[in-house]
Amino acid sequence: ERRLLESVRFHHVRRKAKYDLSLVAGIAQIIDREQIEVVQGVMQFAALFAWLAARQSGRKPPVVAAVHTTTNRGLKEELQDRLLYRRILHRLPAVVFVCNYQRDYWIKKYPELKQLARVVHNGVDVSRYRRSDFACAAKRVRSDLGIADAAFVFSCIAAFRHEKAHGCLIEALSKLPSNIYLILAGDGRE
């Protein structure tokens, strides 16, 4: 199934290593060739490369970062945030977060982001999906897990990290009737 609209062009610039600076030139060429007006980098690492590529391009489009986390996985990531990404993020016209909690967390950590911070909530266009499209797959999952057809099933697809608060979800659902099930999908330390 095609996931992108026909009007969307996809370009894949391969990297040889994590900090492959040849990516910058490749992205800059795409920016110029496709006459891109705004570049978005999702997460700090992508925002860094987007910012470098935009600066190298002839068009010099603005770069917006989308940050979808509040927890670094270790000291290395925390140091990268403090010493590198922080310096890039505050030079951008906007930094987008998916919820108020994330925005507030990052502003507390780096107050200089306050004027740049924007919240754009995640959303799903439910009109694109019909329950009947997933009926066979849902029936198979219920059968595999031994869940009755009449039971109500919640699912949560997210990395198992502290800020996702899976424990709160489990606790809340444990207070509901026994014919309700929760299916968790993801990976991570928790």
Q: What DSSP assignment string belongs to 167-179?
A: HHHHHHHHTS-TT
- Chain segment 81-125, per-residue pLDDT in tens: 888 889 999 999 999 999 898 999 999 999 999 999 999 988 777
Over 70: is that where the pLDDT of 146 sits? yes
Predicted confidence (pLDDT) at residue 163 exceeds the cutoff of 80: no
**pLDDT value, residue 111:** 95
pTM over 0.75: no
What is the per-residue burial (b if ≥16 Cβ within 10 Å, else e) of 96-120?
bbbeeebbebbbeebeebeebbeee
Instruction: Report the range of poorest mean pLDDT among 43-57, 96-110, 125-139.
Output: 125-139
- Taking alpha carbons only, the member of 83, 77, 17, 85 closest to residue 50 is 85
Closest by CA position to 45, among listed 10, 9, 81: 81
Contacts of 76 (CB under 8 A, 6+ apart): none
pLDDT over 90 at 145, yes or no: yes
pLDDT at position 91: 93
Proportion of the chain above pLDDT 70, given as a percent: 98
